[in-house]
Structures are given as structure tokens and as C-alpha cells.
Amino acid sequence: MIVQLKDRVCENIVQAVDVGRKYSLGLCEHQALLGVNFNLKKNDFAAIAGPSGSGKSTLLNILGCLERPSNGDVLIEGISTQKFNTFELAEFRAHRLGFIFQTFNLIPTLSALENVEYPLLLLKLKAKDRRLQAEEALVKVGLEKFLKSRPNEMSGGQRQRVAIARAIVKKPVLILADEPTANLDQKTAREILDLMQRLNVEDGISVLFSSHDGEVLKRASSVTYLVDGQVWNPKERGNLLVA
Amino acid sequence: MIASAVACIILFEGFTFNMVEGLRETTIETQTGHLQIASQSFWEKKKLRPKDNLIPNYTKILAELNRDKRIKYAAGRLEFFGLLSHGDESISTRVTTVDPFKERSRNKYFNFRKGRELSHKRPFEVAVGSGLAKKLSIETGSQVTVLTHTYDGIVNAMDFKVSGIFQTDIAEFDDNTLLMPLKTAQRLLDTKAVEQIVIGLNSSRDTKSVMESMAPKLSSLAPETDIKTWFQLATLYKQVSMFNSVQNTIIQMILMTLVLLSIANTVGMSIMERTGEIGTLRALGEQRASVVVQFLFEGFVLGTTGVLIGTLGGIGFAHFFNSLNIPIVFPGASSPIFIKIAVLFSAMAKAGISGIVITVLAALLPAYRSAKMNIVQALRHNI
């Protein structure tokens, strides 16, 4: 599957086709997403916006193959992920996707360098190559002096830079970032967004991030608004103020 | 937990091994020898007349046995019941014979507490078990009478001087046994034959091979006889050995069950604490099987470390206990002995292997659960 995707030239990196997601909460059912259609083009720096509970994270998780939709399909580089099994989805994530989380999600027992090296371990690269590429990624995010530091020895901004280095080190086609600046102060958030934008331009990595912060959303090349699990179209439904 | 369990198993197995080994040596040297030859009817207790069980040409068999260098001693033996009298008191006694010259190497196992061992130069001296001596108030030098009947049914009696009082590790033996020189017993029973030929070997390991080499010779020299090993004859030893084996297995199972529960709990807690980490690894593309392998490997490392610490602890405690010389009286023993714990490679291997296997097994279920965890839910556990 990965071999098939590697040399594929496709204008749309990710496509969500009529995606729906239902959750069972005891006897009740909660419709988190309903009939969502979404396209992300190559080299986009796009955002998903919407208030809390609108389904931003659910959509990002589905697009990132972390969970399956209840109905509809997700196409990555034109290939349907519907029939992928758990093993293939994990393999796909390992090779093609990078993740940045709101809470950084670094492995606390590993140094910055080891954290960044980890995705390359899954690609079965040689130790020497892993080290070299991980160092390069950390230099790219400006953490060349923190290679040996553990997450608890770094600030929030530095941790998120390590997470960005971990996401870019395997040169993915797409980085999915779930509220990457939500846990950071404004100045650090700006720096992180600058860095993500720079990587998008310089390395040609498509970036899709979620946020409900208007200042952050201004940086996106395109914004998809979600309200109550559905894509909000201003032409059809009028204006929406994003807090 | 695992280190303590491994150390306990090593100590317990070493302790019971020494106990059973001691019983084996005492049984062989004071009672059965390594091998015994007797008529088939003697073993089967078929014939009512004891005279029919005798081996008349036993000296020829002894001559054949003495050619074998693996044999330490071979001697004829008679065993019978008689009435032992001292002063006004009498008691039924089991009389067993020894050849004081050929079987002198056995003397140390009789552990003469008072007096001296039997000698072929003093045919009218007997030795009495400590329990029996106590019952009849016998001391060394006491005059005693043994009353019995010969193989032809005629009542006969002899007076003896008590040369010594012995105390083996088996109380039942010491309570009712009198040792008499073989030649004297033959005179008392009016026979020149013996009931059994007892063979002592230089090494217990040769028991089977000597038996196999003797069997064809016996069939030509005395076809009515049969040869048996000490193990076939030592009923008490077999019972004690089997009891200890069952007891060891039960104790080992209890300890390993505790280890299983404890490690499963520890690994379960570890997985709970690392739920976010597992979610992150799975999001990065780690396969479910790899997560399982990681936790099993952790279980293996945990188990191996515990086993190493437990083994070292077990060896250390064994030496420590051995140096303390703690006295203990075993059930059925006549005197206390010092606790000695053998450091057995087999016990270390058994405890070690089962410790590691149990630890890995204990990690299996929590590891499988962690791998099946929903990635999105796992990611919600902040790191």
C-alpha cells in the first residue's frame, strides 16, 4: 500500500466524502459529524475552525486515520482508506502522516533527540541515519542545543518544537495539528505558527490544523468552519463569528 | 515479589533436598544397603516357614560379589524378632545382624552415642538402639538375654553384654532394634544360611549397573533368588520423598500465583500510567503487536532482574542459615540435626525459568489490552 502511495501524484492530499461519526454514550447516541465533505490540496496551510464540540478534533482524527468514520470515506492521495485494516492504517500513519498535539505528547523518558528519532525507528532506518535525520529536524526547529534534554527540562514552546521536529522528520505528505497553540502563550504561539508556515513553504509539507482562535486562523490559507458536526457554508447559512 | 519467591523456592528446595538426601543415606547405610539379594519367596512373603526363605550357598554369592570393585561391602543378614530381657523387664525386639568386619564402614551411620561398635572379636556383644535402651534402662556393659526360636521351631536363648548404644536419624529404628553379629545370630537360630545378602556400593550412582551385571550371575548361582534396589525397599524414604515433592510443587504454585497476580497488577498499573504514551506511539504508527511485544519485553526484563536478585538472595540466605547451625528435629527422627540448605542448580533453574515465564505471562493480558486501546481515547490521557 505504502509503495503504491509513494510515487503517487495527486492534487488532493486528503478528501473526506460524506463523512459521519456517531458515538454511543450509554443508551444515547451523539452525532459528532454529519455528511462532512472536505478537500485538502497539496502544499495547503489549512485550518478547521469552530466552537468547542463542533467536531474539529473528530474530523482531524478521522483524516489522520486515528479512528474510522461511521459512514462515508476518507481518501488519501486518491486512495480510499475504507478497506484498510488496523495494520495498514498504522503503516500508513507511520509513513505518510505527521501529528502535532495540543499537549505535545512527547515520551517523558526519552530525550528530545530520541523522541524525534522514534518515528524513524518505525520506518526501520539504520541507527546512524536515524540520528542524523533527527538532528537535522531539531536544528530546523531551532533546538540544536537541546538534543539531550528531556521534555520536563524544556518550556512549553520548546516541547512543541520537539513535537514539530518529530512530525517533520519522516518527511510526511501531511501534518495534522490539533490546536497546536492552545497551551502556549501568545508570543510562543506566534513563533510556533511562524515555524509551521516556514516548513510548509520550504519543505512543501501540507498542514491541516484546528483552532478556534481568530488570530491563529488568520494565518491559514483556507479555513473550513464546522458547526454541530457539519461544514458551515457562509453563502448558505449566513456569517459566523469565530471567537 | 518475584525475587522473594525465587529466593524462597531455592531455600525450600535446598532444605528439603538435604533432608531427603540425609534420610536416603541413613536408610541405605543402616537398613537396606544399596542392593539386597533374597529368595523370591522372602520378598513375596509367600512361604509360612521362614526356613524356606534362607539362602544356603550365600558364601559363593558373596565371593562373586567381592570381585566387583564397585562394591564396598557385601554381607549376609538375618532379621528376626525375639524377646529382649534386662533384669525383670522384657520387650519384643527386632534383631538385625551385621558382619562387624565386612560392614565396619556402616558404623558411622549408627552413630554410637555410648560404648563402642560391634567387633568380630567379641561375638557375644550386642548393640542396642537408644529408644530401646531407654525402655529397658540398658546401659553399656549391661547383661541382656535374647530369647527366640530357631528356624526349626526350638526355643533358644543367649546372654549378651551390651557393647554400645546407637542412635540413627530414624526414631522408629532406634526404638526397637538390636544389632547382633551375624555369626552369633546364626548360632542362636541354628543355621549356617542367611535370609538376605546386603550390598553396599562405593557410589549410589552404580546401583542400577551393579544390579544389571549381577542378575545373570545370580540366575546361575542361586536361581531362586532375586535382587532389589534400595529404592524398591525403602518405603519410608519413598513416602517422605513423594510428600516433599508434592509439598514443594504446591508451595511453588502458590508463590508463582502470587507473583502472577502481583506482576499483572504492576504491569496493569504501568499501562494505566502510560496510556497517553501508548496512544502517542500508536498515532505515530506503532503496530499493535509491537506494543504487546514492548510490554512483554518489559515483563521479561522485570522477571529476569527479579530472578537474578532472588537467586543471589537465595544463595546468600542459604549460606547464612547454614552458618547459624540451627538445630531441628524432623518428624520420625530420634535426634536433632542442624539445618543445612543445599544450593541446588536444579532449584535455581526451576525457580528462574518459572519466574521468568510467569512474569511474561502476567504481562500478556495487560499488554494485549493496551494494544487494543482506542487511540483517540488513549491520547486524551495527557502526558
**Cβ separation of A91 and B284 shorter than 8 Å?**
no
C-alpha grid cell, residue B169: 536419624
Q: Least CB-CB distance to B285: which of A90, A106, A151?
A: A90
Nearest residue, CB atoms, A107 vs list B280, B375, B376 = B280
pLDDT at A235 over 70: no
Q: Is A238 on the interface with B (CB under 8 A)?
A: no
Which of chain B's residues have a Cβ under 8 Å away from the Cβ of A116?
none
Interface residue A86 vs chain B (CB under 8 A): yes
User: Is B247 touching A (CB cutoff 8 A)?
Assistant: no
Which residue from B286, B287, B382 is facing A103, i.e. has the nearest CB?
A: B382
Say if B283 is an interface residue toward chain A (CB within 8 Å): yes
Query: How far is the alpha carbon of B300 from chain A, nearest alpha carbon, in Å?
Result: 19
ipTM, 2 decimals? 0.87
Q: What is the pLDDT of residues A83-128, one digit of tens each?
A: 888 888 888 889 888 998 888 889 888 999 999 999 999 888 899 9
Give the A:B interface size as CB pairs under 8 Å. 58
Contact at 8 Å (CB) between A78 and A12? yes
Angstrom distance (rounded) from CA B13 to CA B250:
12
Whole-number pLDDT of residue B331 = 62
Of A66, A67, A105, the CB nearest to B276: A105
Q: Are the beta carbons of B283 and A93 separated by less than 8 Å?
A: yes
**Residue type present at position B213:** S
- Over 70: is that where the pLDDT of A243 sits? no
With helix as H, strand as E and coil as C, how does chain A read?
CHHHHHCCCCCEEEEEEEEEEEEEECCEEEEEEEEEEEEEECCCEEEEECCCCCCHHHHHHHHCCCCCCCEEEEEECCEECCCCCHHHHHHHHHHHEEEECCCCCCCCCCCHHHHHHHHHHHCCCCHHHHHHHHHHHHHHCCCHHHCCCCHHHCCHHHHHHHHHHHHHCCCCCEEEEECCCCCCCHHHHHHHHHHHHHHHHHHCCEEEEEECCHHHHCCCCEEEEEECCEEECHHHHCCCCCC
Question: Is residue B377 within 8 angstroms of chain A, CB to CB?
Answer: no
Q: Which of B293, B377, B379 to mutate to test the interface with A (most CBs of A within 10 A)?
A: B379
Of the candidates B1, B8, B40, the one whose C-alpha atom is nearest the C-alpha of residue B350 is: B8
Q: How many residues does chain B have?
A: 383
Q: What is the CA radius of gyration of chain A?
A: 18
Q: Residues of A with CB below 8 A from B284's CB? A: 93-94, 99, 118-119, 122, 166
| pLDDT in 10s for each residue of chain B, 383 residues | 788 888 888 888 888 888 888 778 778 877 788 888 888 888 777 666 777 788 888 888 888 888 888 888 888 888 899 999 998 889 999 999 988 887 777 767 777 888 888 888 888 999 999 999 999 999 999 999 999 989 888 899 999 999 999 888 778 888 989 999 999 999 999 898 898 888 888 888 888 888 888 888 888 877 788 888 888 888 888 888 888 889 888 988 888 888 888 878 887 888 788 888 888 999 999 898 888 888 888 888 888 898 899 899 988 988 888 888 777 766 656 666 777 888 888 888 888 888 888 888 888 888 888 788 888 888 887 55
Shortest Cα distance, chain A CAs vs residue B266, angstroms: 18
Classify residue B173 as exposed, middle or buried by CB count within 10 Å of its CB (0-12, 13-18, 19+). buried
**Listing from the earlier edge strand, what are the strands of the sheet with B71-77?**
B71-77, B196-201, B35-39, B225-229
Query: In this predicted structure, what is the pLDDT of residue B117?
Result: 84
Say if residue A237's pLDDT is above 70: no
Q: Tell me the C-alpha to C-alpha distance, in Å, between residue B338 and each of B7, B107, B322, B324, B334.
A: 20, 21, 8, 9, 13
Query: Is A122 within 8 Å of B383 when comparing Cβ atoms?
Result: no
CB of A69 less than 8 A from some CB of B: no
> Is B286 in the A-facing interface, judged by CB distances under 8 Å?
yes
Q: What is this structure's pTM?
A: 0.64
* pLDDT for position B91: 92
**B287 → closest Cβ in A90, A95, A101:** A90
Q: How far apart are CA A14 and CA A77, in angstroms?
A: 6
Q: Do A95 and B276 touch (CB under 8 A)?
A: no
pLDDT higher than threshold 50 for residue A242: no
State whether A107 and B283 contact (CB < 8 Å): no
Pick the residue from chain A with its C-alpha nearest to B371.
Answer: A86
Q: What three-state secondary structure class fits B325?
A: coil
Q: Which of B115, B121, B118 is nearest to B103 (CA)?
A: B118
CB-based contact B285 A67, cutoff 8 Å: no
Q: What is the pLDDT of residue B144?
A: 93
Residue identified by cell 475552525 is A49
Q: Which residue of A has its CA nearest to B374?
A: A67
Interface probe for A, chosen from B275, B280, B282 (most Cβ of A below 10 Å), is B280
Kindly give the pairing relationship between strand B89-98 and strand B79-86. antiparallel
Cell 501529528, residue located: A99
pLDDT at position B32: 82
**Is A103 in CB contact (< 8 Å) with chain B?**
yes
The cell numbers describing A87, all together, are: 495494520
Which chain A residue has the Cα nearest residue B277? Answer: A107
**Is B374 in Cβ contact with A67 (below 8 Å)?**
yes
Could you say which of B279, B286, B375 has the minimum Cβ distance to residue A122? B286
pLDDT at site A239: 53
